[in-house]
Amino acid sequence: MSIKRNESTTMTTLQNVLERIGDNPDRRQRAMASALRSLGRLACRELATIPADGRAVRALLDEIRPAARHLSVGRWKNICSLVLTAIDQRPAKCSRHPLSAEWATLLAPLPDKPFRIALVPLVRFWSEQGITPHDVDDETFARYQRHLERHSRKSRPRESYLSARRAWNGAAKSYSWWPSFQIEIDNRRKEYSLPWSAFPASLKADVDAMTADALAPDPFAPGAPKRSSPITARGRARSFRALASALVHRGKAPEALRRISDLVTTEAAKDGLRYFIQRLGRRQDPYLTGLACAQIYAVRYWIYRDMTPDDATRADHLEALIRLRNAITSRRRGMTQKNRSLIRRLDDDAMSRLLALPDRVWARYDTSERLKRSDLIKLQVATAIEILTHAPVRRKNLLAIQPDRHLIVVEHRGKKSTHLHFPADELKNEIEIEFELPERTALMFRRYITEVRPRLGIAESPYLFPGTGGGPKCDYMFGDQIAALTEQEVGVRITLHQFRHISGFLILKNNPGAHEVVRRLLGHRSIETTMESYAEMETAAAVRHYDDLIARRRAKPSDQPNATRRKRWG
């Protein structure tokens, strides 16, 4: 017995739903009551404060991390299913409705991925509604979207709708026998950057020339800059394209922007930065600082490159831009709020689960022929987490690992050791770094290469984590997979880059003051960078040390002197 929608006016909270179930002897009803009480306990909320609304309950379920509460995946799925069933948020009957003959014939030749799996729920809904392939239009898609928003049990119904929409358009483009109608994909991104073609060709030529000079500066030129890394140089070029676009949005004619010098005058610099301040809604942001620094670089090393550093015109221009940068720059010390929140949630228990995650995943999924592709991906992600645990490199370096290039096996007196080596020219700070991997990590490394990577069905690739086309795996996709697995297994969503912060946290927590160890492990060029980034960890360690001192002193017996009677003198 589930709660009917027409009774929801009197049962507005989950407490009302629980009271309605009462002491029902039915086993299914008792399970629903238990699931409701479990939800309140896991969410740390009274059931009377949770509305009996499908969307609100699904949002609450999404906020709970079952791994952090030591719940198995099966138990958590049961709780979610029983709670949603109790408030009558079961999947609509159309999800089990048979396909009409016309739709079944149309879908039969399609491959499962990426078409059939995404289209079957949509087509079942249309079959129940009596919509034929010839009736499909924008309104029928909108009707399906409204249906998902009201009745879907999925946590992200819009993603299901978008997946079906992409599959429909893809089938229309790939197969001549598919209905020719294509639904327009609305772009929800707030685009502002204009293509280079919108500006005079001389502007891009000037930016390209400055980029080439930054990558290979003349060492004998007066006031020549240090060589920039490719990432920095390309980011600076994107900054000038963004600044040019901002000036156009502020009313500047594109034809007037012919060279970099047109973008970095004092007035142009102010106008461009004002656009981004209004767009971001704040005057201090790292992106704004990056734009201002790109302008300063151009003035210091490119526009006046033939002038001496003490030239008055160059000095005045540079000073004006530096004042603009200082006005929008906040000297942030320590970790961001996001990383600080992560460290708070990684207590000893969560940290132990994180460090044991790779072994736990490999023990769960053997390498038999029964493994699905999703299982192989989890083994791949677990291997990446194992590498990041012992070698906390940046995202670009992790994805660029090539076993034949970066993996070095050294044999000494019959004992082998495995080293992960990154040459200086591949690292952001150009500081060569090498990690000796523990024996168990090296064994997992080899098992992944020989047993997992060949079965991923990807073309021959030199990369440890290959993507389609033989190149490295997409960094955003891999980062999402790592975050999803840590959330599932640990209860905390950890991004790829945050493993670097975790390594620094582990060292400083157990060895306060070991900043030089952290600097060498993470490859920082300056010890000041390390100390600024991890100063808060030192503060936390100092507070824990002080609390332990107070606790030890309190545990000691009182040392008050014994009271003695005053001696009387006769």
- Whether 103 and 64 map to the same domain: the answer is no
Residue among 473, 461, 458 nearest 384 (CA): 473
In a 10 Å sphere around its CB, with 0-12 CB exposed, 13-18 middle and 19+ buried, how is residue 288 labelled?
buried
- Which residue, of 140, 174, 208, is where some domain finishes? 174
Query: Structurally, how many domains does the chain consist of?
Result: 4
Q: Residue 424 has what pLDDT?
A: 85
Decide if 369 is inside a domain: yes
Decide if 525 is inside a domain: no
User: What integer best gives the mean pLDDT of the chain?
Assistant: 84
- Whether 375 and 476 map to the same domain: the answer is yes
- Whether 289 and 319 map to the same domain: the answer is yes
Decide if 442 is inside a domain: yes
d(CA 457, CA 130): 40
d(CA 128, CA 108): 18
pLDDT digits (tens, 9 = 90+) for 165-208: 999 999 988 888 888 888 887 666 667 889 999 999 999 999 99
pLDDT digits (tens, 9 = 90+) for 393-428: 999 899 999 999 999 988 877 788 999 999 988 887
Dihedral over Cα of 510, 511, 517, 519: its sign = positive
Decide if 563 is inside a domain: no
- Whether 43 and 149 map to the same domain: the answer is no
CATH of residue 483's domain is 1.10.443.10
Q: Residue 399 has what pLDDT?
A: 92
- Whether 438 and 369 map to the same domain: the answer is yes
Q: For residue 162, count other CB atoms closer than 10 A to its CB.
A: 15
pLDDT at 565 over 70: no
Decide if 445 is inside a domain: yes
126-158 burial string, b = 16+ CB within 10 Å, else e?
A: bbbeebebeebeeebbeebbebbeebbbeeebe
Decide if 191 is inside a domain: no
Opening angle at CA 133, ends 130 and 136, nearest 5: 85
What are the φ and ψ backbone dihedral angles of 267, each rounded to 5 degrees? -70, -40
Decide if 77 is inside a domain: yes
Please give the average per-residue pLDDT across 290-294, as a whole number: 92
- Whether 72 and 98 map to the same domain: the answer is no
User: Which residue did the predictor score with more confidence, 402 or 96?
Assistant: 402
Q: Residue 334 has what pLDDT?
A: 66
- Whether 358 and 482 map to the same domain: the answer is yes
Domain that holds residue 242: 196-328
- Whether 219 and 164 map to the same domain: the answer is no
Please give the average per-residue pLDDT across 116-129, as a whole number: 89
pLDDT digits (tens, 9 = 90+) for 464-506: 999 877 788 988 889 999 999 998 888 889 999 999 989 988 8
- Whether 244 and 362 map to the same domain: the answer is no
Decide if 549 is inside a domain: no
- Whether 212 and 152 map to the same domain: the answer is no
Please give the average per-residue pLDDT across 298-323, as a whole number: 85
| Strand stretches in 157-304, DSSP E | none
Q: Which of 479-483, 506-510, 542-546 reaches the highest mean pLDDT?
A: 479-483
In the structure encoding, which two tokens stand for residue 161, read together?
A: 């709708």
- Whether 483 and 355 map to the same domain: the answer is yes
- Whether 362 and 389 map to the same domain: the answer is yes
